Amino acid sequence: MPALLEVSDLCAGYGAADVLDRIAFTVEEGGVTAVLGANGAGKTTLLRAVCGLIRRRGKVRFGTEAIETRATEDIVRLGLAHAPDGRGTFLQLTTEENLRVGALTRRDRAGVAEDMAKVYRYFPRLKERRQQQAGTLSGGEQQMLAIARALMLRPRLLVLDEPSFGLAPLVVQDIFSIMRTVNREDRVSILLVEQNAKLALDLADRAYLLETGRVIRGGPVAEIRDDETVRRSYLGY
Amino acid sequence: MDAFLHQLFSGVATGGIYASVALALVMIYQATHHINFAQGEMAMFSTYLAWTLIAAGAPYWIAFVLTVGISFVLGVVIERVLIRPMAHAPVLSVVIVFIGLLVILNSLAGWIFSYTIKSFPSPFDGVIPGNAFMSPHELGIIGVTLVVLALLYGFFRFTSLGLAMRAAALNPVSSRLAGIRVGRMLGLGWGLAAAVGAVAGMMVAPVIYLDPNMMAGVLLYAFAGALLGGIDNPIGAVIGGFVVGVVENLVGTYLIGTELKLTVALVLIIGVLVFRPAGLMGKVVVIRV
Ligand SMILES: Nc1ncnc2c1ncn2[C@@H]1O[C@H](COP(=O)(O)OP(=O)(O)OP(=O)(O)O)[C@@H](O)[C@H]1O
Ligand SMILES: [Mg+2]
């Protein structure tokens, strides 16, 4: 089966200078791909480039579509949901309105209602706070909201930028187990940027190592896990 | 007592006009973080349009609906042609574009329709039996304003398009990541603001008469109302507009005389900016990092 997302020769950046240098990676249909790298390596930039939020060139194929020249709105409508760095919460809207925004492009009302119930099952905390202004949620709750909002698109590919950022260890466990469910049961493929390499590699089937805008290692997780550099710099043994 | 009640109700009626224009200002402010200084002139121009249609023989309400529709389209066009190219421009450039638009619309109206003052019809006439303190037109203004406000509230609160427009104004990047076409939503916002302004212009014109400078005072009062309620808070701005209308009328009648009324607006604006920049009802957005 061909990959769901296939990126090659991707260069991208802000202003005149490129941050990313000829990046290549894939996310398999139904798979989880993890991107690891130090602060400033270009992980967030990579996700932004895939979603068309910044200037980029190269090849990006999503499903059957070439998306390297498409606008973000159109890429999202193809079924790619991105929970961005910083969470992107609509602070002045209520929790439930945030979730409704995630589903605004959908026309299947019944399906939206189903998914609303489903994300509330995944994140009961959000259900308790459904009428609360989202700006008053805690950081962890906003992270849950960002993932839930992305899921409301009923995406084919879920793109997550450091979902564990700033969360208590138990909450991180929770979120990773929900991502596993979403991947296994709802058949959503996942592209994941994560500092917690151990958790990321446990979930992923492919992983890529980014260093100053370049992929320096990449492939099936089994190989990456045994890699000397990865073990020393990211897993710490 | 009747005289006092009369002034009070006049205040509520003109307050409705200020509330509408204040709301139009807030709608554009939330989306662009700029005050549309040309909001009043846009409304004035719309009112001339209605006057032209009526002079050409159109029945009042037909002219009303047509004017609202055309103003909506003009609002969308102005956003598209003038404002969108300025999206990343420095604040001062944007302010200059707004002032340029103000001056151009004003001169254009003077050139086409002349600066002589015209009367504008009210659709509400007759007498209300047993009612000494409210004219039919004032009652009509209040009714129309409340209908417009209710429609807008329902639209933003309960429809998907309304939610998409609010989202686009609050957080453009997150909106794009939700598949919302942000540019289109901004255009719609300008269209709605222009349409609301058109209604306000047509409602106030029978009272203050039609001339190219008719909206200068109205805009100032509306701005005072918007600031008073919180420039970021639509409901606050509407309440602020009503309050300014009543205060203006009472202070003008009983304290300082009609000639100096406009200073009330100025005093309010400066007072709010100095003592309560977020407005009396300014929504305090709690942000956690
Ligand atoms: N908005 C921006 N404008 C200009 N340069 C930027 C911008 N955002 C990031 N950069 C630069 O791009 C490079 C990569 O940043 P990026 O945010 O992609 O790193 P990251 O791998 O996500 O880091 P972190 O782990 O800290 O989130 C950095 O050198 C950074 O300075
Ligand atoms: Mg990052």
The pLDDT, as a whole number, for residue B127 is: 66
Q: Is A3 a residue whose pLDDT tops 60?
A: yes
Tell me the C-alpha distance between A92 and B176, whole Å. 17
Tens of pLDDT along A152-161? 999 999 999 9
Tens of pLDDT along A180-235? 999 999 999 999 999 888 899 999 999 999 999 999 988 999 888 887 777 777 76
Q: What's the full length of chain B, in residues?
A: 289
Tens of pLDDT along B25-80? 999 998 888 889 999 999 999 999 999 999 999 999 999 999 999 999 999 999 99
The pLDDT, as a whole number, for residue A91 is: 94
Tell me the C-alpha distance between B190 and B184, whole Å. 10
**What mean pLDDT value characterizes chain B?**
88
Tens of pLDDT along B196-214? 999 999 999 999 999 999 9
Q: Is A153 helix (H, G, I), strand (E, B) or coil?
A: coil
Give me A232's structure tokens.
């020393």
The pLDDT, as a whole number, for residue B34 is: 86
Residues B5-24 have a mean pLDDT of 91
Whether residue B50 lies inside any domain: the answer is yes
- Residues A46, A23 contacting (CB under 8 angstroms): yes
Whether residue B250 lies inside any domain: the answer is no
Tens of pLDDT along B97-128? 999 999 999 999 999 999 999 999 988 876 66
Tens of pLDDT along A124-173? 999 999 999 999 999 889 999 999 999 999 999 999 999 998 888 888 99
Residues of chain B positioned with their CB less than 8 A from the CB of A142: 288
Residues B269-276 have a mean pLDDT of 79
Count of structural domains, chain B:
1
Q: Is B288 a residue whose pLDDT tops 50?
A: no
- Residues B53, B66 contacting (CB under 8 angstroms): yes
The pLDDT, as a whole number, for residue B285 is: 46
Within 10 angstroms of residue A7's Cβ, the number of other Cβ atoms is 26
What value of ipTM does the predicted structure carry? 0.93
Q: Is A1 a residue whose pLDDT tops 80?
A: no
- Render the burial of A176-198: b for 16+ CB within 10 Å, e for the rest: bebbeebbeeeebbbbbbbebbe
Whether residue B32 lies inside any domain: the answer is yes
Q: Under an 8 A CB cutoff, do A101 and B167 touch?
A: yes
Within 10 angstroms of residue A67's Cβ, the number of other Cβ atoms is 21
B52 touches chain A (CB under 8 A): no
Tens of pLDDT along B170-200? 999 999 999 999 999 999 999 999 999 999 9
Q: Which atom of ligand 1 is nearest to the CA of A43?
A: 21
Segments forming the whole domain that contains residue B58: 26-224
Task: Categorize the per-residue pLDDT at B266 as very low, low, confident or very high, splitting at 50, 70 and 90.
Answer: confident
Tell me the C-alpha distance between A204 and B125, whole Å. 74
Q: Is A44 in the pocket of ligand 1 (CB under 6 A)?
A: yes
* Cα B216 to Cα A10, A98, B112, B258, distances in angstroms: 54, 39, 19, 16
Q: Under an 8 A CB cutoff, do B180 and A105 touch?
A: yes
Tell me the C-alpha distance between B34 and B79, whole Å. 13
Domains of chain A plus CATH, in order, are: 1-79+156-166+188-237 (3.40.50.300)
Alpha-carbon torsion, ordered B175, B178, B180, B183, to 10 deg: 40
The pLDDT, as a whole number, for residue A61 is: 96
B95 to chain A, closest Cα gap in Å = 26
The ligand placed nearest to the CA atom of residue A210 is 1
B106 to chain A, closest Cα gap in Å = 37
Q: Is A40 in the pocket of ligand 1 (CB under 6 A)?
A: yes
Residue with tokens 């407005």, as numbered in its chain? B279
Question: A28 C-alpha to center of ligand 2: Å?
Answer: 23
Residues of chain B positioned with their CB less than 8 A from the CB of A105: 178-180
Whether residue B246 lies inside any domain: the answer is no
Residue of A nearest to B170 (CA): A90
Whether residue B215 lies inside any domain: the answer is yes
Q: Under an 8 A CB cutoff, do B174 and A88 touch?
A: yes
- pTM (predicted TM-score): 0.89
Q: Which atom of ligand 1 is nearest to the CA of A37?
A: 21
The pLDDT, as a whole number, for residue A56 is: 94
